[in-house]
Structure 1
């Protein structure tokens, strides 16, 4: 049996994808829209050394596997992959076939793989390290992927044909309206990224906005953009852990894409801290990725955990609502935007492909391949309800009064 047939059996099931291997073997429909090329025995060595998605990711990132055609289409064609479930007879066959190659093809993880060590999970120092790993890649690289909005969170599409930029503007404006922003108010944006929400609130609502981020490169980019847009009298972004914000008395807080980095054990202190930063009647909009339920663990798969978001944790939306409710907030509104995140990721994938050569030159081939794989897989995850995106709006009561309209005003 050739390598192509063996690889197809490992993946399981019939697939509309063509598979070709270095030994000349092939399987699947010739001339298919997508072709997976097994370039060396190292591909299956990675699978044997790290069963499941991590081994496949390592094989792709190192170039032992190449995908010709659209990555999203390729991933959608295969069933869920878990080498642990491969029948023992097939695993033995794989190991026997690899036996003649292992000495010549030592398996090493790619250099871009990251495993935090020696620090307490979600300590300030370790959070700073893992955020820097993901976000301090290159502002120029993120410009190629995210587009002019430089917004790395789920957009809100007013129509299915809206552009990514229109959808990101709509998202920021939806957050602003849910928070009831008005001229003269003070906004704190925790985990502010490149300052998109901060600048939107200042420019379109006359709000004095402070954003904080653990990424030094994000803060530098944001401060420059704020100055160039003439918003320095209203907007500011600091390189700072949100837990080190000393100011209080904010009228509103936006948390867009931070909670995924907080962790279950820290949720009570996180929401309590934000509650205490608000004036009575102030609102919090918490926007984050969630699990659809509690039937599987909070930590991501090994590929996402090693290559994309080390220490990331996803909770069911009910856990977040309960944590908000138990730490001072009256929850007023909640909605799931998972289809919007699938559309957002499709836009980012298209941007990466359109600027592939520039992205590779800026961040390196290994990291660009990580992003191609990660974003296509996440798009599929949102479409298939493996993950969701929820916005939850809470109010710090003024005694028993919420200062909230009888019906939502947005």
Structure 2
């Protein structure tokens, strides 16, 4: 039997690290924490992410899809939900290893810019862009989101980076995105979330203990994983109109299960380079997260939004790809 009781170490972490980081979220803190995680080593992440190097939920057309197929399908879905058109400017905030940036430039003909705080990730991304032959129309820059130049983009994407902004600064980040988006543009947000609070105390103890484990050992400072209502409220306060919301939590469970299999298959190389402690930590993280996502404790949402303006042409939604589980089924992955 598993015991999820709140123990002394939880209280210590909560008051000495978690809450101070939530309150602070300075640029220096966020960059330091981000690089400590994402610049650990491309080989470390490749040991579970596989050749696509995508650190966000995939999208499955069948439970038996491979990880590569699921990530290809997810990237295609993002591009279709954004209604990308040749020549448009795309900004991908928190682009990871640049896979979406390279794909969008290659297959949709957009001018794509990705930003990340991870120097090793950016180096990998620009090499990937060069291999795809789109260096003239795609690039990844080492840049904190607060330093994005005040330019305009027709399309903006942000996949599972907004969690790192923090609860206190999430609304301001949404306002920043609003200011970067053209008046007739679209914003795609994929964000990890938590189930809405319920019960006498407002939360499930396993959810709370898992969240503290994640913040202590895996994603320090990523405290903006919140229920959907929080995300919707902040988008609308920033001036957005939400067109669609899709819960892809079960897709995340399947994605992480594939990551777990990859990680276990690469045990020898991981232990040789990083040691037994890192291998076992990620083993627990991935195995636990498969179940957490499957039971609904944690999930992921895809939201598409536009500026809430009278002149925005809403006829564009008719006949478009709006919900992946309805519209992508039966389509071939790229």
Structure 2 SS opposite 1:301: helix
Q: Does the CA-based 8 Å contact 1:138-1:363 persist in structure 2?
A: no
- C-alpha change, 1:316 and 1:118, in structure 2 (3 Å) is closer
Deviations 1:99-132 (A, max 9, x none): xxxxxxxx9xxxxxx9689876221110011111
Which secondary structure does the structure 2 equivalent of 1:82 belong to?
coil
- 1:390 deviates by 0.4
Distance 1:298 1:283, change over 3 A: farther
Query: For 1:7-31, what per-residue CA distance to the aligned partner results, in whole angstroms no more than 9, with x for missing partners?
Result: xxxxx4xxxxxxxxxxxxxxxxxxx
Match of 2:132 among 205, 229, 248: 229
Q: Which residue of 2 aligns with 1:359?
A: 270
Which of the residues 298, 301, 306 maps onto 2:211?
Answer: 301
Task: Show the counterpart of 1:241.
Answer: 144
1:207-251 CA-to-partner distances (Å, cap 9, x unmatched) read 100000111111111111111221101111011011111041200
Give the Cα separation in 2 of the matches to 1:115 and 1:221: 32
Instruction: Give yes or no for contact 2:125–2:140 (8 Å, CA) kept in 1.
Output: yes
SS in 2 for 1:321: helix
Aligned pairs for 1:106-125 within 5 A? 121-125=24-28
Residue aligned with 1:226, SS: helix
Q: Is the 8 A contact 2:49 2:262 kept in 1?
A: yes
> Secondary structure of the residue that 2:24 maps to in structure 1?
coil
> Equivalent residue for 2:119?
216
Structure 2 contact 18–215 (Cα < 8 Å) conserved: no
Matched residue of 2:176: which SS? helix
Q: Please give the alpha-carbon distance, in whole angstroms, between the structure 1 residues aligned to 2:319 and 2:117.
A: 33
Q: 1:299 to 1:227 in 2, by over 3 A?
A: farther
Aligned residues: 306
Q: Which structure: greater helix fraction?
A: 2
Q: CA deviation at 1:402?
A: 3.7
Match of 1:81 in 2: 4
Verify the 8 A CA contact 1:186 1:207 in the aligned structure 2.
yes
2:284 maps to what in 1?
373
Q: Provide the C-alpha distance between the structure 1 equivalents of 2:42 and 2:176, rounded to a whole number of angstroms.
A: 30
Residue 296 of structure 2 corresponds to which residue in structure 1? 385
Q: Which has the higher contact order (CA 8 A, sep 6+)?
A: 2
The answer as to whether partners of 1:213 and 1:239 remain within 8 angstroms in 2 is: yes
Structure 1 residue 310 corresponds to structure 2 residue 224: no
* Normalised TM-score (structure 1): 0.70
Report the equivalent of 1:252: 155
**Aligned pair in 2 of structure 1 residues 273, 385: CA closer, same or farther (>3 Å)?**
same
Equivalent positions of 1:82-101 (< 5 A) are 82=5, 84=7
Q: Does structure 2 conserve the Cα–Cα contact (< 8 Å) formed by 1:137 and 1:363? A: no
User: Aligned equivalents of 1:234 and 1:363: distance in 2?
Assistant: 36
Aligned position for 2:62: 159
Give how far 1:371 is off. 0.7
Change (3 A) 1:406 1:286: closer
Which residue in the other structure is 1:187 paired with?
Answer: 90
TM-score by length of 2: 0.86
* SS of aligned partner of 1:137: coil
